[in-house]
Structure 1
């Protein structure tokens, strides 16, 4: 699954880089989404594979905090990128004549930098709060990576403030982008319903199909993960839920975009044919 995640997202990155027809805002953000997926998989799965190979499941205190920080940063980045991509789809369908003016290269770069800045603030904030906690020795994390809420549960000191901030900050950092996505699609659906022809409606909505699938997968698996933390103490069920959130979406995203997008399929076909020997 790790190899499929890396190779699939790497192919998306190479296809967007090599095909000048894909040098548009939508594919610019898809390029960065694929990079984020690679980073999420590398941060979590790679350590697990090393542990399996060496039969040593230990992780240092510094290593655990670093892993938790990078997971938060890259998951936050994916969260904000999906919101920006929803805005891009909104401008495409609701303001098609002004698309190139609104989604100019400068705005795209600024939106990317804003996404990165917010995700770094999100990750560092929670990591610095973890540094305030005291931990006992010989702790065992019931997961295959250092997930924030699981690490907080292992603290020997009072964790009320940390748990409160996890929920409050997560509601802000994930709730606001999700609200933006929902608002964008309400406007998109409203605009599509005003298109007189059935063919025109289908063509307009098909441009959002891939993004909508990725959004559903990302937020649906994330909701399932935190519900599993809330209702079960089973380490096996927690690990399965974590795998569904940290591995499956990142592995499936390249397939969703390549199978549902004609331009991407053409670029990938051209890229793979250029790699193969004659």
Structure 2
């Protein structure tokens, strides 16, 4: 049963657009997923301005998941990581008590090319919000593949359909990348309390209605959640167990408003380490106390 349909809100980053899906006024989270952006799709030309890069910025209380369908992004962070991410791989960064990182389009700057992917944030459970920061890169071989007729799926993270991804998570969840032939039918895992499916491309049918690119379908708990592709389609399905309310301001996520205020003060005062392998530039704290999280953060 469909509970809600969220349509992406397009945001111009001064060089390309993202589609913001979560957080949404009527649905702040789906399971532990507190932020969900569709990057692109966009065709970059060689010589892309450096202003399009996402300069170093901070996070607390979450893990970021970067997953690409096309393109390449260079990640650098304050725990010493430098890792390009390519289609079908996973960059999983855990902020915990605090991390800083940058995301740069270095290959596109040299060669041009298409960029298309999803960036999501997963809130950490209360006992893990102040864990040590860390970063792990996972290759395609670490992510199980599920095939059924005209449906091909990659389990990006979590557990579903009797298999488990090698990506280390902190709470029960699932994240599936599906590629569906016309007429293919898939059902979201029934053993997770909160579930949603985002249409990256193509058109799907659910409960007698058709939904195209840029829409997230949120399904009611304990009810069947079935999609049928009306055309060749790419769908990302996410969900898991709810963690309780989270505050989100700029790039900070926490169960405590006071902890977010401390993180803001630390960033403003320069107390959060910048990536060693990056330039010394950074994104200042926005002046607006009600600032929304940055796309591509």
Name whichever structure is richer in strand by fraction.
2
Structure ranking higher on relative contact order (CA contacts 8 Å, 6+ apart)? 1
For the criterion TM > 0.5, the same-fold answer is no
Name whichever structure is richer in helix by fraction.
1
